[in-house]
Chain A
Amino acid sequence: MRKRYLIPLIYIIFLMLPIYWLVNMSFKTTNEILGGFTLYPHQLTLSNYVTIFTDPSWYMGYVNSITYVVMNTVLSVLVALPAAYAFSRYRFLGDKHLFFWLLSNRMAPAAVFALPFLQLYSAVGLFDTHLAVALAHTLFNIPLAVWILEGFMSGVPKELDETAYVDGYPFWKFFIRIFIPTIAAGIGVAAFFCFMFSWVELLLAKTLTAVAAKPIAAAMTKTASTSGYELGLLAAAGVLTIVPGAFVIYFVRNYIAKGFALGRV
């Protein structure tokens, strides 16, 4: 019977190994990391984390990232809600083509848009602002959110809308008081994916910022500083970058399962 657990165990070890190694490194000094192979920190140190939480050039990276990610998530979901409602409830000329075209926006690599965005945002004075990154990411996230939300909305019978109108709800009152709570799970899933894509996207975020809105992922690419290689510090930054994602996943895991069950996501 023992054998049954062997293969999953090996699989999990392989999965967890890089993460373990990252956490392991983050508690070591750079000397220990470069000095040799150690399975656990022999000289346990928190100095890497202390540096990150005290040095503005580090922690502002997180603040910047979270700022534009939250802006982007809110913006994407707010814009996607009415669009998804229209796709789910109305038939109009070219609706299916438009829906597909929206989705096809996700198929182009971000690099394609880096140059036009950089030029455009510089011209209108948005360069190096949180809004610039948030707006750039909506290009990918709004189609995704529309697509996810449309699936959830189409799962709600249109008779619900009609019942509400019959009961006397004006459209907006129905939409906000009844419809949005009904598809709360879908909004959760859409927001989660917007958050995730925006959080891990590096190219646009790096291209469109310089100092004021520099994301953490960009800060992490400065591997060498005046004091030489700071591998421990980078590992600690990496660990802290995983945390928000893991945190969000923990809260929406049930909704995501539901999203899979509905055939979207």
Chain B
Amino acid sequence: MTLELRNVAKRVGAQTHIHETNLVIAEGSFNILLGTTLSGKTTLMQLMAGIQKPSSGEVWFRGRNVTQMPVQKRNVSMVYQQFINYANLTVYENIASPLRLAKLPEAEVASRVNKAAELLRLVPMLQRRPHELSGGQQQRTAIARAIVKDSDLILLDEPLANLDYKLREELRDELPKLFAGRNAIVIYATTEPTEALLFGGNTATLHEGRVTQFGPTSQTYRRPRDLITAQVFSDPPINTAKVVKRDGEIVLSERIKWPAGKAGTAIPDGEYTLAIRPHHISPIDHGNGRAMVEGRVLVTELSGSESVIHFDLNGRTWVSQSHGIHPFEVGSTARLYVDVEQSLFFNAKRELVT
């Protein structure tokens, strides 16, 4: 009872938009596609929905090969980043349109539309046209249309990206509630790692048309299989450096080195790429085996309760993200404490070791 992509690939001309992908997605699950713009999120969703046909491979749904089945025959719904509604229809008719096409009786249509409108707080707007609504209400209309017909597969392609901050938070809270208790597979595409972490569920990280990892969100975050996944799933960008492990020490350069600690002891001596998330570097020494590094401050971003410090470490730009306000002068030398136990080590093939 699942959606399965079997060796699905999409090529357009000489370009490969999606490399061979295998995914098994369980019914009733909430799944996140995480990747930068142009990483292939939308294409992958369109392949799942049947809006595009794969160049090779098969799509299976509930044990049936649906690769050649047109999108109209599949029970899917989709919400885009742009607010897509039928401009010539009222909000009511917009929400009702999938039901009308399914030829449901009028009473059933009315009750379902009203229920969806209530959930998305659209009841006072039902007789208006989409262009008379605010952006948030337009997107709510699109979401209502997506949930009204009990789809098997609900695709949400960055649905909150074009909304302002307040509305985004509001809808982000509401979304999982809308899908709770349904059997539908929900796929949610986003460019923001934070959003993926807030939703939980499963996360597939995408990079240049390749799914680099798919699994429970927290696992994908904590144990990225390779460096690319770690980079995709980190905001601000994850800090990396070439290091050598020898004599129980992690060595960045002659001047910058620290004891291997628990994380570093497990790996054999040799060359690695070290990756460490920005929030594991702080200007405050919290003790328990943190390594002190000194770097020239390049940029300081201070928000209300958080400091993001970009600094130069051995020729690389690293970022520290910490609570509290730490107003370092640009150009000054900052002492920062690295929680080395949180280090991730990748080998020459960029795979996670340990």
Contact = CB atoms under 8 A, between A and B. Distances in A.
**Are A and B co-members of a single complex?**
yes
B266 interface: no
A165 B70 CA distance: 9
A181 B84 contact: no
Given A162-B46, A162-B51, A162-B78, A168 B86 contact: no
A160 B94 CA distance: 12
B59 interface: no
B87 A167 contact: no
Contacts, number: 52
B101 A163 contact: no
A163 B77 CA distance: 8
Interface string B40-51: 000000100101
B101 A159 contact: no
B82 A168 contact: no
A167 B70 CA distance: 12
A159 B80 contact: yes
Contact of B87 (A166, A173, A182): A182
The interface centre, meaning the residue of B70, B71, B77, B84 with most chain A CB atoms within 10 A of its CB, is B84
B76 to A, nearest CB: 6
Contacts of A178: 86, 88-89
A169 interface: yes
Contacts of A36: none
Nearest to B151: A166
B102 interface: yes
A250 B46 CA distance: 44
Given A178-B86, A182-B87, A168 B78 contact: no
A4 B51 CA distance: 59
Size category of the B interface is 20 to 34
Size category of the A interface is 10 to 19
Give the secondary structure class of A's interface. Answer: helix
A159 B52 CA distance: 12
Contact of B72 (A157, A159, A170, A182): A170
Nearest to B145: A167
Interface in B63-114: 70-72, 76-78, 80, 82, 84, 86-89, 97-98, 101-102
Contacts of A157: 80, 82, 84
Interface in A168-216: 168-170, 173, 178, 181-182, 184
Interface in B87-146: 87-89, 97-98, 101-102, 142, 145
A168 B98 contact: yes
Interface string A75-86: 000000000000
Nearest to B155: A166
B88 A168 contact: no
A166 B49 CA distance: 8
Nearest to B157: A159
A71 B88 CA distance: 27
B78 A163 contact: yes
Given A168-B102, A170-B72, A163 B84 contact: yes
Given A159-B82, A166-B49, A166-B51, A182 B88 contact: yes
Interface of A: 157, 159-160, 162-170, 173, 178, 181-182, 184
6 contacts: A163-B142, A166-B77, A167-B77, A167-B101, A167-B145, A168-B101
Interface of B: 46, 49, 51, 70-72, 76-78, 80, 82, 84, 86-89, 97-98, 101-102, 142, 145, 149
